[in-house]
Amino acid sequence: MQLTKDTEISTINRQMSDFSELSQILPLHQISKIKDILENENPLPKEKLASHLTMIILMANLASQKRKDVPVKRSTFLKYQRSISKTLQYDSSTKTVSFEYHLKDPSRLIKGLEDVVSPYRFVVGVHEKPDDVMSHLSAVHMRKEAGRKRDLGNKINDEIAKIAETQETIWGFVGKTMDLIEARTTRPTTKAAYNLLLQATFMNCCRADDLKNTDIKTFEVIPDKHLGRMLRAFVPETKTGTRFVYFFPCKGRCDPLLALDSYLQWTDPIPKTRTTDEDARYDYQLLRNSLLGSYDGFISKQSDESIFKIPNGPKAHLGRHVTASYLSNNEMDKEATLYGNWSAAREEGVSRVAKARYMHTIEKSPPSYLFAFLSGFYNITAERACELVDPNSNPCEQDKNIPMISDIETLMARYGKNAEIIPMDVLVFLSSYARFKNNEGK
CB 28 within 8 A of CB 53: no
Residues 6+ apart with CB under 8 A from 47: 85
CB 254 within 8 A of CB 178: yes
- Choose, from 194, 295, 358, 433, the residue flagged as catalytic: 358
239 CB neighbour count, 10 Å cutoff: 17
CA atoms within 13 A on the CB side of 217: 9
Coil, strand, or helix at residue 245? strand
Residues 6+ apart with CB under 8 A from 346: 242
DSSP string, 174-226: HHHHHHHHHHH---HHHHHHHHHHHHHHHHHT--HHHHHT-EEEEEEEEEETT
415 catalytically annotated: no
Of 332, 95, 350, 107, nearest to 238 (Cα)? 350
Of 417, 422, 430, nearest to 218 (Cα)? 422
Catalytic residue set: 358
